[in-house]
Amino acid sequence: MTTSTARRMDEIGDESRRRILDAAEQLFSEKGFEKTSFVDIAALSGISRGSIPWHFKNKDGLLLAVVERVNHRYMSLDQMSESPKLEEILARYGVLARDFGGRLMFAVLTEALNTDSVVHEEYKAYHAQHRRRVAHWLKFVGVRSEKTREALATAILGSMIGITLQWQIDPEGVDLEASFKGLAKLVDEAVPNG
């Protein structure tokens, strides 16, 4: 196979993967993880059903790939390293919640609560990674104690999830942006600078 043919095959594979992820993200958000089938994803993506496990192994692998892509879109470590204010980080998370991510996050969470699920360990690792990212940001802004950074990271992420859940349940009664701004103000006032 020539270099240009191999490159073209990689491009086709990347495009197929992107289309599958786009369809899965939309369907998992709209219908939930359990009610979405490979047939549904194939129909929406225009990619054959048999190609999905070739790219992602199984439905759990696809779900984790969707979550990682959504998260990277809004909350990458690079973004945390830019030393934005917490209000800016929470605004990014608010955009994630307003897009498919909020509903998607709870579809994944529901699946992850089953300790027998393959998603359980992966989601546990996913949350640990996000706690490390927030702790890294806290170190970047001057919180010296590792124990304090870890505790604050857990509290911040728990609050973000809780606010998003309340907004998902009652979008008319919960002002997502104001709630995130309030959380940022609370943390800014409470976070020791050293």
The CATH number that applies at residue 42 is: 1.10.10.60
Residues 6+ apart with CB under 8 A from 121: none
The pLDDT of residue 194: 43
Same-domain check for residues 91 and 183: yes
Domain co-membership, 91 together with 41: no
Domain-ending residue, one of 39, 56, 73: 56
Q: Assess whether pLDDT exceeds 60 at residue 9.
A: no
Phi first, then psi: give them for residue 99, nearest 5 degrees: -75, -160
Spatial CA neighbour of 68 closest among 24, 38, 34:
24
The tally of domains found in the chain comes to 2
Helix or strand holding residue 156 (H, E): helix 146-169
Q: Which residue range forms the structural domain that includes residue 146?
A: 64-194
Which residue blocks in 82-145 are alpha helix, DSSP H? 86-98, 101-112, 118-140
Question: Best-predicted range by mean pLDDT among 71-85, 95-109, 123-137?
Answer: 123-137
In this structure, are 18 and 47 located in the same domain? yes
